[in-house]
Chains A and B, each alone.
Chain A
Amino acid sequence: MNFQIVGCSHHTSSLQLREQLAFSPDDTRLALRQLREQFPQSEAVLLSTCNRVELYTGSTDGELCPSPREITEFIADFHGLSAVQLFTELFDHSGEEAVQHLFATAASLDSMVVGEPQILAQVKHAYEMATGDNCTGPLTHGVFQAAMRVAKRVASETTIHQRRTSIASVAINDFSSQFFDRYDDKNILVIGAGEIGSETLQYLLDQGAKDITVINRNWDRAQALAENIGRSQHHRWQATAQPWEQLDKLLVAADLVVSTTGATEPIVSVEQFEKLHPLRHQRTLLILDLAVPRDFDPAIADFLGVYLYSIDDLQGVCQENRQAREREWPKAQQIIHDEAVRFMADARHRSISPWIHQLKTQADSQKEKELLRLFNKLQQLDEPTRDEIRQAFDRLTNKLLHPPLESLRHDITQGGQHGLLDALKRLFQLRD
């Protein structure tokens, strides 16, 4: 049995290389077909996401599996790149290490944003696509199904997935979600066209926000941000840029405000907000003031129905989440390790079971022949005596086979380093 992975990820390769090696869904199907033609006995699954390109191959008969070098050459040929360059850029793992890598990837421990839930769906999709193209087999079925089970176990037994660490993700996923049930009917105002504002917008879009207004002192930058994110192909939403003079009117209409300007003084004072507050009819307003120095006067938080969070409030949770994640990390890794060891042990036991069966059948056959010969000679024996003799032969055979089989199982559990399976095959003349 051999299971291996060749690929690259955000940990090991530049974005440029990952872009060069990326496979579109059509490319993936084509690559799998070509791989099957080139290595018909090998099973394969190709996982290609923004952050990783990984080709998993395996075979229940290790000798029929392509080598990492052959896989690297295949990837290079497919993309029209130099294989020599890729040898230093791609990583490869095999056996238990490859299984652990897949488990960690599916459980989102290897992701850029640890705990992001999309990766499990991507792994599942890659596996289903390979299965649809008849590229999977008993080994890949087993290891990918185990990976999905392990990912769910990590998610349910640790809190690692619940702990976000970036300001923008904490702002939306940890804080904003405590206010709003849905975002598609919310009026969202983004003040400032900075980087954090843009990142926060991405999280809002992921949550289904549709009605977003961007406002900035520099009208061109506001329009650029609105258009830039509006071009996103993944979201159906509408962003509009408004002139700075509309700020008060927009604050009255807003449900959620994300403010990220570089202003040195607050852009909204208490006096200014006091005039706007009655027009809001005490409707809930969440203000995420992510600017330093702050854009909103802290006293605005005292108004009824207004919830004002500054970057310091969010940073506390980010820090706490980071520490909590660090505490949970060893637990998650232990789950991955234990499951990989168990999977490999089960897989190895499954791989030797045909040989054990053959050995036992062979021994039973010899035993039956000897019994037949004996009973033909001693025909005067009554049935109880014959039963006793049969049981004695059974015990003898079992006692003779037990120690070598136990040693074999132990050796296989340890990775088969002592080659006992080969020895057994040769000693007892076992054949495929």
Chain B
Amino acid sequence: MSALTNITSWLSHVSETCFTACYILVLVLEVSRLFFRIAVRHALILLVTSAGLFAHIVWFCLSTRTPETTPLASWYGWCMLIALAIAFVYLLVRIRYPDKSVGLFLLPLVLALIAAALLFLRNQEPFVTDAILSFWSILHLSALLIGSIAATLGFAAGIMYLVQSFRLKRKLPPRQGLLLPNLERLQWYNYVLLTTSTGLLAIGLLAGIIRKASLLAISESDIPWDPMVVISSGILLLWLIITGLFEYFYKPARQGRKVAYLTVTSFLILGAVMALVFTTQHAVNLNKSNSASQVSSREGNV
């Protein structure tokens, strides 16, 4: 019993720094592959990545104590969850293809998401609690989250395709330490991730619209319509529809560099839309922050 308490107490010290440090170390090890060979590097990478993932999961478990602190309940949790998913995919790819330099493309994304979360989103209030607990809200959030993960992975696959295609077009010889998956595999990843992300993001957006419409029908409105959210979501939805039609009717869009361009563009549009939506404080429980500021101003007056 006391051992369990000790372990729990030890785990309670796990913070964002632990897994961020692990991912940085793994990235350094991946970069070192470009310059020299070390026999134990692969094992070390797997070990440190696993440690990072463990810390990341523990940190999530410790943070998730109330509905307001579930990973889906805030922008901060979202970013951290996407980072966790990409790090996990990286570990799987590293085990399956130990000689490929996929980490050079995935780990910077993981670290960028963590950095964005820590720098910009840490002090954000969680989403409106009631908004998280309805069916349409859960579908809206989950589909957007998984779609975002697919779009982020698609972005990495797209960049890898373009780099590999660039190298091969210019007939650059295969370089030890910078080996990428072949074009055929990258093209397949791009196609699958683009299709998945397009479908899920569209489902997520539509679920959000249905949720809003159903609340309006019963004259309830917890999250106001914001013109910025409506416009940006409309742009994203339009882009997804265009992408779907483009893929369906134009054969070259399913292969080669075009599919890579589509995945990269999808991710960039998604990123821009998310940034816009974030600036509008969409779904954020503003009452909580307002009341908190009122309390602090009262304390200040006193």
Contacts and interface: CB of A to CB of B under 8 A. Distances in A.
B168 A307 contact: yes
Nearest to A307: B168
B171 interface: yes
A102 to B, nearest CB: 24
Interface residues of B, number: 22
B17 to A, nearest CB: 35
Interface string A312-325: 01001100100000
Contact of A159 (B173, B176, B184, B252): B176
Contacts of B168: 178-179, 307
Interface stretch (A134-142, A257-265, A278-286, A412-420): A278-286
Contacts of B164: 178
Interface in B136-189: 164, 168-169, 171, 173-174, 176, 180, 182-185, 187-188
**Which of B180, B182, B251 has its CB near the most chain A CB atoms (within 10 A)?**
B182
A245 interface: no
A316 B182 contact: no
Given A281-B251, A282-B252, A309-B171, A179 B39 contact: no
Interface in B274-302: none
Nearest to A174: B174
B158 to A, nearest CB: 15
Interface stretch (B111-119, B199-207, B253-261): B253-261
**Which of B37, B171, B251, B257 has its CB near the most chain A CB atoms (within 10 A)?**
B171
* A-B residue pairs, 7 tightest by C-beta: A282-B252, A281-B251, A181-B184, A305-B256, A181-B185, A313-B171, A317-B173
Nearest to B180: A178
Contact of A316 (B173, B176, B187, B255): B173
A159 B169 CA distance: 26
Contacts of A282: 252, 255-256, 258
22 contacts: A157-B39, A174-B174, A175-B174, A178-B182, A179-B168, A179-B182, A180-B184, A181-B182, A181-B184, A181-B185, A182-B184, A281-B251, A282-B255, A284-B183, A284-B255, A284-B256, A304-B256, A304-B257, A305-B256, A307-B169, A316-B173, A317-B173
A178 B174 contact: yes
Contacts, number: 55
Given A178-B182, A181-B185, A301-B169, 13 more contacts: A157-B39, A159-B37, A159-B176, A175-B174, A179-B183, A180-B182, A180-B184, A181-B188, A282-B252, A282-B255, A283-B255, A313-B171, A316-B173
B102 to A, nearest CB: 15
A177 interface: yes
Contacts of B176: 159, 162
B33 to A, nearest CB: 13
B61 to A, nearest CB: 38
A246 interface: no
A376 interface: no
A283 B256 contact: yes
A305 B39 CA distance: 37
A156 interface: yes
A198 B185 CA distance: 28
Nearest to A179: B183
**Which of A178, A281, A309 has its CB near the most chain B CB atoms (within 10 A)?**
A178
